[in-house]
């Protein structure tokens, strides 16, 4: 069954709803330019609500070691990198922290997907998101989708997830087109940027699991 990662959670109610909807992963954003940004101190209270068996993912953009240590202290167990982190940086973080590291990359073309695979290096997972619009200050959560058919026939050397513009209305079509290990949703479960809809969380999970 395709796993679900609900991302950009910032309130107790949204965390509880995501857990109740059967999330495998919960994403917390640590990037000041994002409307979903959390401080490690605020995130710690939310992460404490998460039961064992559900991953706690930090969404980071070119974070330094001090920032990474702070989110780990808050209870994070997985690092999701959205910036210009190199394969060497990924390897260093895996070795230093002992945590899983994911590489997230925005794509628009088939060549972008090939480049994303190469850039993932030793990452544990790869998240393929839609390339951010040129006027966006944030790399993800822009509500933009890419052409999922670009993935058809491509060999993926590591577990990968699909993000970018997913919602309850289109995730079924995405899963029919390609078979990711997980799907990642943020803006598609919001009433407005940074404000999650508990109903949309439930609807998204139901759409993923619909036969």
Q: What is the CATH number of the domain that holds 85?
A: 3.20.20.70
Element (H, E) at 47: helix 40-47
- Using a pLDDT cut of 90, give the percent of the chain over it: 89
Least confident of 1-10, 18-27, 137-146, 177-186: 137-146
- Structural domain range at position 18: 3-209
Give the model's pLDDT for residue 140.
56
The mean pLDDT of 8-31, rounded to a whole number, is 98
To the nearest whole number, what is the mean pLDDT of the chain? 94
Q: Which of 172, 180, 148, 176 is nearest to 5 (CA)?
A: 180
pLDDT exceeds cutoff 60 at 134: no
Q: Which of 151, 100, 159, 155 is nearest to 127 (CA)?
A: 159
- Whether 189 and 201 have beta carbons less than 8 Å apart is answered as yes
Q: 145: pLDDT confidence band, cut at 50, 70 and 90?
A: confident
- Whether 131 and 106 have beta carbons less than 8 Å apart is answered as yes
The string of pLDDT tens digits covering residues 72-121 is 999 999 999 999 999 999 999 999 999 999 999 999 999 999 999 999 99
Specify burial of residue 79 (Cβ count, 10 A radius: 0-12, 13-18, 19+): buried
The mean pLDDT of 148-176, rounded to a whole number, is 94
Give the model's pLDDT for residue 119.
94
The b-or-e profile of 134-154 (16+ CB within 10 A means b, else e) is eeeebbbbbbbbbebebbeee
What's the domain count of the chain? 1
Give the model's pLDDT for residue 139.
65
pTM for this prediction? 0.94
Give the model's pLDDT for residue 137.
55
CA–CA separation, 17 vs 28, rounded Å?
Answer: 15
- The radius of gyration of the chain from alpha carbons, rounded to an integer in Å, stands at 16
The mean pLDDT of 40-57, rounded to a whole number, is 98
Give the model's pLDDT for residue 131.
86
The mean pLDDT of 172-188, rounded to a whole number, is 95
- Whether 186 and 8 have beta carbons less than 8 Å apart is answered as yes
């Amino acid at each position: 069954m395709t796993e679900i990662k609900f991302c950009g959670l910032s309130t107790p109610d949204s965390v509880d709803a995501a857990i109740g909807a059967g999330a495998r992963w919960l994403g917390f954003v640590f990037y000041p330019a994002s409307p979903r940004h959390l401080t490690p101190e605020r995130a710690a209270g939310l992460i404490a609500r998460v039961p064992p068996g559900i991953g706690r993912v930090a969404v980071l953009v070119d974070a330094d070691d001090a920032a990474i240590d702070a989110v780990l202290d808050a209870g994070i167990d997985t690092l999701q990198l959205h910036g210009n982190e190199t394969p060497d940086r990924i390897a260093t973080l895996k070795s230093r922290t002992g945590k899983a590291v994911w590489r997230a990359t925005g794509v628009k073309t088939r060549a972008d997907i090939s480049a994303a695979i190469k850039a993932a290096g030793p990452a544990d997972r790869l998240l393929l998101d839609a390339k951010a619009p040129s006027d966006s200050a944030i790399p993800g959560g822009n509500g933009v989708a890419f052409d999922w058919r670009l993935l058809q026939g491509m060999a993926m050397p590591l577990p990968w997830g699909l993000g970018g513009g997913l919602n309850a209305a289109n995730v079924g079509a995405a899963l029919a087109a390609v078979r990711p290990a997980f799907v990642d949703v943020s803006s598609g479960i919001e009433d407005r940027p940074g404000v999650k809809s508990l109903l949309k969380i439930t609807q998204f999970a139901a759409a993923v699991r619909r036969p």
